[in-house]
Structure 1
Amino acid sequence: MSKYLLDKFLYTVDRDPELVERYREDPAGTVRWWEEHVANALLNCHSGETGTWQRFTDEERAALAGHDHVALFALGAHPFLALTLFIAMFERDHDEPLAYQKQYGARLAHFDLPYPDIAT
């Protein structure tokens, strides 16, 4: 399991409006594409350097493909990275202000302290 890789996915997808829409419409395909083409690229590295070893676990891949922020939180993904991405994808589906954010929080309400470790 790599909390870093989960956070990297959430971070990089959230910063590209086209990827946000792609992830909203085809989550499993976007996760597969991202893992193959972006996962091993170094952040903030423009020289083309890449690694080869980082992969999502099946559980991580399923949580990402299912837009399952509760499972992502349990796996240690940073909740604010997930929240900002999921707001970009799903807030538009709600008429009431902050409705998505309230739903997001309510679905995490069953977690007790201490929360899953979000350190990378």
Structure 2
Amino acid sequence: MSKYLVNKFLFTVDRDPELVEQYREDPRGTVAWWEQERANHLLSCTTPEASTWLAFEDHEREALATHDHVALFELGAHPFLTLTLFIAMFERDYDEPLGYQLRYGEALKHLSLPYADIAT
């Protein structure tokens, strides 16, 4: 598994409001587009530069395409990256305060320490 690539996806999508909406409305299409167009672009370059070897594994692609934050956490995606992006996408769907965050935590309550390795 490429925790780097999954976390890079979460990080870059979360920082672009248009991509957040695109990912909310068309997750499978957004994941495919991002993998094709952005996965191999280096994060910190000021000039266009790219690599050619990064790609999601099938189970990573499926977890991202289905907004499955539990699977992403179990795969080692950083929980802060997942939570901040998913709050941006889904908090609006809940009327009560912290509605999405409470459901996010509830879905992860079956996990116990030590959690999945989130080191990058």
Q: TM-score scaled by structure 2?
A: 0.99
1:83-115: CA deviations, max 9, x gaps?
Answer: 000000000000001010000000000011110
1:18-45: CA deviations, max 9, x gaps?
Answer: 0000000000000000000110100021
- % same residue: 72
Q: Which amino acid aligns with 2:27?
A: P
RMSD: 0.5
Structure 1 alignment gaps of length 5 or more: none
Structure 2 alignment gaps of length 5 or more: none
Which whole-Å CA distance do the structure 2 matches of 1:111 and 1:45 have between them? Answer: 37
Number of the residue aligned with 1:116? 116
Q: Which amino acid aligns with 1:81?
A: L
Number of the residue aligned with 1:79? 79
Structure 1 segments, 4+ long, off by >3 Å, are: none
Q: TM-score scaled by structure 1?
A: 0.99
Matching of residue 104 in structure 1 with residue 104 in structure 2: yes
Number of the residue aligned with 2:28? 28
Number of the residue aligned with 1:68? 68
